[in-house]
Amino acid sequence: MPAVMTSHLAEGRPTCLLRLDWDSLIIGFADGSIARTTLKDLLREGVNGRLRTVGKARLHGNIVFLHVLHQALLQQSIVVAGSDDGGVGIWSLPDLSLLAKQVVFSTPLVGVHPVEDGHAGLRNGLICLSSDGTVAFVNASSNYTFTSLVPCASAPLTKACFSADNLVFMYENGKARLWDVKTLELWRIVEKEKAEELMEGGGWDIIDTGNERVEISPLPIGEGPPTPLSLDSGIPLILDVKNLDLACKPDPVQNGASPAQQPDSLSKELDSVLPLVAGSFTYALDSDVDGLCDEQAAVPQRSVSLSGHAGSISQDTEHAVWETSPTATTFLLLSLVTVLRLCLTYDVFELHAGAIVASCVASLPEKVPGYQPPALDVLVRFWYDPSVEIQQAARLLFGAVLSQMADNDVIVMAEFWQRQLPCLQPDADQGSPACARALLICGNIAAERYALLSTSTLRDISKSISLYLHDEHCKYSILAIDLCSRGFHIWQQYIDAVETLRCLFKEATSFERSTLPAVGLQSRLAILQIASANTALFMTTVSLDILNAPTADHLKAIMLIVAFIVRKKPLVLYLSLPRLVDAVVKSLDPDSSSRDAVLQAATVILDQLVKTYPSVAFNGKVQRLAVGTIEGAVIMYDLKTATRLYVLEAHRKRVSACTFSPDGRRLVSVSLEESVVVVWKVGTSFSSLFNPGGPPRQGHAGSEPYKTIPFNVGDEGHMTVAASLEWITFEWPGERSARLKIRDSTFTFNT
C-alpha cells in the first residue's frame, strides 16, 4: 500500500532515526509506521505534513531499527525496518510502498545484509539478523518473500558465512554449525577452527555479527536496572517546533517577502539560543550554515534508537519546557546535542557544538525566569551509554554545565556527593550504582575545578579511585581508569602513585575481562596520558618493574605497554631512551630464569625502538645495539651477554642518529646541531683482548674517533626532535660507503 500525506494523522512517538544524507531522514514511530522527511520540513512542520505509512503498511510494534539498501539487480532502493516485537517490514524508496512485512523473530532485528551471486541459495536477496542470533532469508526476486529461518543457539552468534552450497554460523563458545543450502538442514556441529579450514578455499561471503547485537549499557550508573538508549520526552519535543519555541521563520520568498529582507548571517536571523541550535543542523534556514554542510562528504547511513517515554511535556507558557524540572531540562538538552551530532559530520560538529552548547547553557537562565538547570546526576547515567552519540553529548553537556556553575555551587555539590563516595561506605555498598555515580560526579568536578575543593574531598576521591582500581571484581573499574587519565596529577598526591600505575599496567594487558572490553583500551590511553605528563614517574616504575618483576607475565606486560607508547607517542620516551634500553637489555641476562619468557617481548620492543628512533641502531650479525644520547655520547651494548660494553664520546651535542655498517665493524653517528658525522671502529680485534670494557683502537693513539667528517646542512641543523624521527635515515651502498639523508638532502661519505 503506498504511503500517503498525513496532515491529520495522530503523530505517535518517534522511536528510531535514520539519516540518509545530511538533510534527509527516515523516522520510525511507536505505532509501527515510518516516515520520510527533510530536516527543514521536520522542524517547520513537526511530525505532520510528511510522507508516512498508514494502515496495513505499518508494523505492529515500536520501530527500533532502520536500514536502507540498493538492490542493483532489481534497480530498486528499499527501507528495511524492525520492530521491538520481532517484526520486519520492507518498503520501496522514495514512495514508501509496502513490499513485505512479517513477524519473523522473537527479538528485534539488528542487522540486514544483501546477498547476490547465488550465495545462500539466493540470486538476489537479504539476510536478516535478530539480536538473539536467529537468521532469516528473504528472496528479493520473489516479491521479497521470507523463505527460511536458521534458529539461534545458546551462545551469541559472531559470524555468518555463506557460499553457494553451504552456510556456516560461528558462535562465541567456539562452536560452528554447518547447514546445507539446498535442504536447509543442519549438517553438523564442529569446532570453529574446523569451520575456518573449510572456508580457506575462498568463495564465501562473511558477515561479522559481533557488533550487531542490541547492547545494554554495561555500567548502570543510574538507579534501577540498566536500559537501552532512552531520550525520554526530549525527542518528541525536538520534532515538534512549537513545543521547542523554535522561531524558525518560513522562507521569505515563499511568503511574498523580497530577497532584501532575507537575513545575511546566523546571528541576525536567529535571535534566541534554541533557534541557534536548530539552525546548526537544519538546511535552508541559514546560508552560512548551509555552506558548511554543502562542503561535507557523504554521511554513513545508520539508525539510532530513540525509544523512551511516550507523551510530551505540556506547555502553558512560552518557556514552560525549560521550567518543568532539572531532569526534563537535562533530557531536552541531551536530545538537542545528540540530534546535532547525528545531523552534522564529525568535523563540523567538533567546530560548532562546544560553542553552541556553552551558549545554550549560559543564555537560558537569562531568557527563562523559571529556568530549571540540568542535573549532573542525570547526565552521568549516560556516561557509558552504548551509543557513542549519546555518550559524547552527555560529557559535552556535563563540562558546559560545570563551567557555568558559581564557585560556591561547585563546592556545595562536591561536598554533597562526597558523602556517598565508595571509600566512605561499608564494604557491601562500595560497588553500588549510587557510589559509582558519586565518584563519577566528584571526580569530574575535581578534574576541572580541583582548586575549589578541600583536601579532604580530594583525598576521598583519590582513595575511591584507588579502591575501584585494586578491586579485581569491581564492575566500575573503567570509571576509575577514566579519572586516572584526566586527573592523575591530582590523585597521585593522596595515593601510592607507583602502585596505581602498576594496576593500570595489569588492566591494560589483561584480556580476561569479557564484560568490559573497553577496560584494556582505556587503561592504555590512561597510561599514555600519565607517561606524557609525568615521564619521570612512568620511567621509574617501568625500570623497577623490568629489573624486579615478580613474574614473567608481569615483565611481558610492561614490555607491551612500553611498545604501545613508542608506537603512539614516541616523543614521550625520547629523553629516557638510554634508561629504557638499559633496562630492557638487562632483562635478557642469560643467567636470568625469566629470559626465555620475556625474550619475544624484549625483541619486539627493541625492534620497535630501532624502527622508531634514528638514534638507536642494531646489527644482527654481531648482536650489538647502540644508543645515542642527548648529551652526545653513544652507548654500546652486547645483546648476547646482555651487558653494556662501553661509551663512545665524540659529540658535544645531541646525537641525532646512528647506524652500523652491514658487517657490524663500523658505527656512524651524526649530530645535526654540530653538523658533523663521526665514524668509529667497533669490530672485535686482537687489541680488544687487552682492553676489556673499552672501545677498540681507532688506528691512532688516544680516544678520538676513527673519522670526523663535517658537513653543512643549513637550516636543517635546527630540525626538531619530532622532525628528525621522520626525516633522518642512513643507507649503505657498500661495506664502507654510507649515505646520510636529511629530508631532501643527501650526504655520501666513506667510512
DSSP at 373: P
What is the rounded CA–CA span in Å between residue 643 and residue 636? 9
Q: What is 127-148 written as a DSSP string?
A: EEEETTS-EEEEEGGGTSEEEE
260 vs 106: CA distance, rounded Å = 58
How far apart are the C-alpha atoms of 138 and 126, rounded to whole Å? 5
Separation of alpha carbons 168 and 179, rounded Å: 6
Which three cell numbers, joined as nine digits, stand for 581?
634500553
Name the CATH code of domain 1-108 (choices 1.10.155, 3.40.50, 3.30.70, 2.40.128).
2.40.128
The DSSP string of 379-436 is HGGGTT-SSHHHHHHHHHHHHHHHHHS-HHHHHHHHHHHHTT-GGGS-GGGTTSHHHH
Residue 691, pLDDT score: 58
Type of residue at 166: N
Topology of the domain covering 614-750: Methylamine Dehydrogenase; Chain H (2.130.10)
Contact present, 430 and 470 (Cβ < 8 Å): no
Q: Angle, nearest 10°, between helix axes 455-470 and 433-449?
A: 130
Nearest-angstrom CA–CA distance, 7 and 690: 100
pLDDT at 316: 41
Three-class secondary structure of residue 162 per DSSP: strand
* Sheet containing strand 186-191, strands side by side: 186-191, 175-180, 166-171, 157-162, 205-208
Residue ranges of the alpha helices (H) in 179-272? 192-198, 234-238, 266-269
pLDDT at 482: 92
Tell me what pLDDT residue 101 has: 92
**pLDDT score for 31:** 87
Q: Which residues partner with 109 through β-bridges?
A: 130
Task: Give pLDDT, residue 307.
Answer: 42
Q: Which residue has the cell 536458521?
A: 150
CATH architecture of the domain with residue range 114-213: Beta Barrel (2.40)
Q: In the prediction, which pLDDT does 591 show? A: 82
To the question of pTM greater than 0.85 for the whole model, the response is no
Set of cell numbers at residue 314: 505540556
Residue entry with cell 554495561: 218
Stretches where the chain sits below pLDDT 70 are: 1-12, 19, 21-23, 39-50, 117-118, 120-121, 210-321, 338-356, 359-360, 511-517, 685-694, 699-702
678: Cβ–Cβ under 8 A, 6 or more apart, which residues?
Answer: 650, 651, 668, 669, 670, 671, 705, 707, 708, 709
Burial string for 365-390 (b: 16+ CB within 10 Å, else e) reads eeebeeebbbbbbbbbbbbbbbbebb
Distances (CA, A) of 189 to 161, 444, 561: 14, 50, 39
Domain parsing of the chain, residue ranges: 1-108, 114-213, 234-251+265-300+313-525, 614-750
Residues of the chain above pLDDT 90, percent: 26
Beta strand ranges found along 620-744 (DSSP E): 624-628, 633-638, 643-649, 657-660, 666-671, 676-681, 707-710, 728-731, 737-742
- Report the run of H or E that residue 616 belongs to, with start and end: strand 616-619
C-alpha cell at 600: 619475544
For the chain, first and last CA: distance in Å? 84
CA distance 89 to 80: 6
Distance in angstroms (rounded) separating the CA atoms of residues 720 and 627? 19
The pLDDT of residue 412 is 94
Q: Cβ atoms within 10 A of the Cβ of 601, count?
A: 20
What are the angstrom distances between the C-alpha of 704 and each of 426, 658, 671, 680?
Answer: 69, 17, 16, 9
- Provide the pairing of β-strand 616-619 with 303-305: unpaired
Pair 22, 40: CB distance under 8 Å: no
Q: Measured between alpha carbons, how far is 432 from 321 in angstroms, rounded to an integer?
A: 33
Side-chain half-sphere CA neighbours of 428 within 13 A: 0
> In sequence order, what DSSP letters do the residues of 62-111 get, joined into one string?
-EEEEEEEEETTTTEEEEEEEETTSEEEEEEETT--EEEEEE--SS-EEE
Structure confidence at residue 71 (pLDDT): 77
CA 138-142-144 angle, 5° bins: 40
In angstroms, rounded to a whole number, what is the distance separating the alpha carbons of residues 632 and 604? 26
CA dist 187 and 194 (Å) reads: 14
At 228, give phi and psi (nearest 5°). -65, 175
Instruction: Please give the Cα distance from 165 to 178 (Å, whole number).
Output: 11
CB of 69 closer than 8 Å to CB of 112: yes
Alpha-carbon 222 to chain mean position: 23
Give the pLDDT confidence score for residue 386 in this predicted structure: 72
